Structure formats: C-alpha cells, structure tokens
Chain A
C-alpha cells in the first residue's frame, strides 16, 4: 500500500574525509509513524538523523521531508527546518536564557510571532512537557530530565511535522529517563511523526511502529519491534540485541 511518506530519504551517502559513514541508506517514514533506529556506535545512525535536517550535508542522495526537497540549493533551509524538530543527547539549551526564552527564541525570530504570542505558545509548549512552573528557570537551575523536556518544548512549540530524537536519554541519570520517555509517549499519542535513535529497548517495544537496525553505514534489517527483537534475520542484529539485553 502506498501510504504517503513524510520523510523520504534515498541512497544517502556521507563521507567524512576518508571515512565512509553512510553507504547508501534509504529511509521512508509514514505520517504518524514512530521509527526507532538502533545499531552499534559508529554505525551511522546519528549521522543519518543529522542528514535529514541537513545539520550534516550528505555527500549524495535525495531527501524529501513533507514535500520539501531538503538538498535543493534553492530550498530555504531555515524555513524547512521549522518543520523538523530535533532533540539532542546533550540537550543543547541556551544557558543564558530562561526556559521560556529557550522555547520562544525561534518563535519570535524565525516564525515571526510577537513577544506576547510567542510567550503564550511557549507557555503552552512548556505545559505539554509538564514544566509550566519552570518557565522562568534557567537551564542551570533544572535537572537533566527537565532540561531535555525544555529542549523538546523548544522543538514542539514550532509545530513541526516530524521530530528527530538523537539519543535523547543517553546523558540522563537513570531515574530521570522516565520523565523524558513519558513526554515522548504523549507526543506519540498526539500523532507526531518521530524518528528516534536510542537504546531504550523497552520504549521501542511498547511504542515503536518499526525498528530499523543499522550497522556499518547500512540498514541491515527493519521490521516490527517484536519481529526484530525476537526473530532477527541477521546474525549482526542478533549479536547487537543480545549485547544490549545483557545489560
């Protein structure tokens, strides 16, 4: 069945000097789909994610997101990026601004909202991540989990069509992981299309529509979570999942 893909990346190659990090990756993601990307470190999964919003420039290939050709030099990349939210492993909040300031900066300077309108939308976004009462706190006054939720609010405030998560819980203390996954779950329930690079296998099992296993710059196999976790077709997948689950 030909469901419309909101993300359609084809034959993506990426070289870093002599290093061939992505060796021809195709990834299609349907609207409202949650795709989990797993794989050993150095497999290229983060690079793939960063190519999708062109934080990394792919060496070749094509990427269409929400009908926009991301690699066309005529594409207004700053405009296109508003539709693609991204959450980083290290949060990357702006430490000199309050939580609300972090969330409203792009609303004001990119989306062109007035300060009052941006503040209203910013408060609403913070409320969605359960931090309505932390609007005036600076990142330094927040826990890691709270900082990551502010980062999520910063992205969803722009009402993106797709959200990219690059190991969103890897830098968090174990007891703080749950609050971030909770927010991701509620995003999922609201129908957000999500591509998640993460090792949170429990979350993948419960929430993902599809799990993609990458190794050595290629997608080795993909399928429903139960299928990939219980009956992987490839040895490499089996070995990787075995390693992860031993922890």
Chain B
C-alpha cells in the first residue's frame, strides 16, 4: 500500500518535477489573484456609477462570467483564440480566463463592501472639500475592504485551488507536473505528494479565514 501511494524512491525521483510545478502554481497565483482583485475593484467602482448605460452592460458582464464555468472559458480561449489568429499559449489563457471569471466574483464582493458604507460619510467628506476619489480612497475603501475581508480571502482560496485548471491547457503547474511524474513512473505517489502540498499551502489560509469569520461573528453580537 505505502509502496503504491507513498513510495519514497518515487518521491525523491519526482521531487524536482513536482517542485517546478509548485513554483509555477505560486507564480500563477501571484499573477492571477492581483489581476482578479484589480479587475474586481474596477468593476465595483464602475458599479457605483448609477447611469443605465454603465449599469446594464456591467450587470450583463458580471452575470455572464459568474455563470460561465471557468474550465469551459479556459478551454474556449485556449482552443478558440488560435482560430482568430491569436495564439497566446496556456499561461496567458489562464490569466485572461481568471481575470474574467474571478474578477466578476471579486467585483461583487467589493461592491457589497462599498455599499455597506453609509453614504453620509461620503457626504461629510465631500462637504469638507474632499474630491470623489479622495472620499473613496480615504473613507470608503479602507472600511469596505475590512468589512468583506473574509469573503475576499475565501474567494482567493478558491482562485488558488482553481489554478489547477491550468493543467488542462498544458501550463506546467503543480497538478500538471505531478501527472507528468505519475505517467513517467507509473505510480500515483506524485499526485499524493501534490495533494499534500496543496493542503499544506492552503491550510494556513483556511485557518486564518475561520478566525476572521469568528471575529466577524463576535463583532456582530
């Protein structure tokens, strides 16, 4: 049993391959998370413009990308774009797909946060001469982000997990590399190692999230 699922020799042999995958997963996360946060913030700021010409297209955009399965979106980009003369490669396709998908999710979170701040605070800020963006930057966003921190973190957790979708379009991230090692060694041990690495990487985030959620609950009491 241990020989099959946790074979020490195979761990040693596949270690460099799996580590290269881990590095790419971290890199991918470091690109995809800020990109999604940026896209989300942009969407949320646009949503604060109440004009119908902004509002309806924005709502359609967000709904569309929240309803569209990210894996389908990714494969569509990867397999479809070359026919439009755009061969971006797997890595760029993952970045774009995540920007569209998680940006829509982050956007809804930021929007909820921004709407949780009473309008009176902005009026007070404006009455002292602060501009619209200053009021947003000094008054609204710091509180909004704090109010939705658990949701932001929870979404980030999902995003990091979803980077494993990159394996489908040959991005050599952790899962892809582990599968490579598995097929080279005819042994599932590298997949087990990858699973353990995912867990060890995300568990601290999960703990942090639980603590934030408990604190938010305590604060509400």
Q: Is B a genuine binding partner of A? A: yes
Q: A86 to B118, alpha carbons, bound, how many Å?
A: 17
Q: Is A222 an interface residue (CB 8 A)?
A: no
Binary contact track B123-165/A, C-beta < 8 Å → 1, others 0 = 1111111110010001100110010000000000000000000
- Given A86-B124, A105-B138, the answer on whether A92 and B130 have CB atoms closer than 8 Å is no
Binary contact track A78-115/B, C-beta < 8 Å → 1, others 0 = 11111011101010111110000000011001110000
Shortest Cβ distance from B143 into A: residue: A96
Interface residues of B (CB under 8 A from A): 118, 120-121, 123-131, 134, 138-139, 142-143, 146
User: Which residues does chain B contribute within 8 Å of A96, judged by CB atoms?
Assistant: 142-143, 146
Shortest Cβ distance from A95 into B: residue: B143
Q: Is A53 an interface residue (CB 8 A)?
A: yes
User: Which residues does chain B contribute within 8 Å of A198, judged by CB atoms?
Assistant: none
Q: A55 to B122, alpha carbons, bound, how many Å?
A: 10
Shortest Cβ distance from A102 into B: residue: B124
Q: Are A88 and B130 in contact (CB under 8 A)?
A: no
Q: Which of B121, B124, B128 contacts A82 (CB 8 A)?
A: B128
Q: List 23 A-B contacts (CB under 8 A).
A: A53-B127, A55-B127, A78-B130, A80-B129, A81-B126, A85-B127, A86-B124, A90-B118, A92-B118, A92-B121, A92-B123, A92-B124, A94-B121, A94-B125, A96-B142, A105-B128, A105-B130, A105-B138, A106-B128, A109-B138, A110-B129, A111-B129, A155-B127
Shortest Cβ distance from A89 into B: residue: B120
Measured CB to CB, the closest approach of chain B to A102, in angstroms, equals: 9
Measured CB to CB, the closest approach of chain B to A216, in angstroms, equals: 25
Shortest Cβ distance from B122 into A: residue: A92
User: Which residues does chain B contribute within 8 Å of A95, judged by CB atoms?
Assistant: 143
User: Which residues does chain A contribute within 8 Å of B143, judged by CB atoms?
Assistant: 94-96
Total residues of chain A contacting the partner, CB 8 A:
26
Q: Are B124 and A110 in contact (CB under 8 A)?
A: no
Q: Are B120 and A81 in contact (CB under 8 A)?
A: no
Q: Is A37 an interface residue (CB 8 A)?
A: no
Shortest Cβ distance from A107 into B: residue: B128
Q: Are B134 and A109 in contact (CB under 8 A)?
A: yes
Q: Are B123 and A55 in contact (CB under 8 A)?
A: yes
Q: A94 to B134, alpha carbons, bound, how many Å?
A: 13
Q: A95 to B138, alpha carbons, bound, how many Å?
A: 12
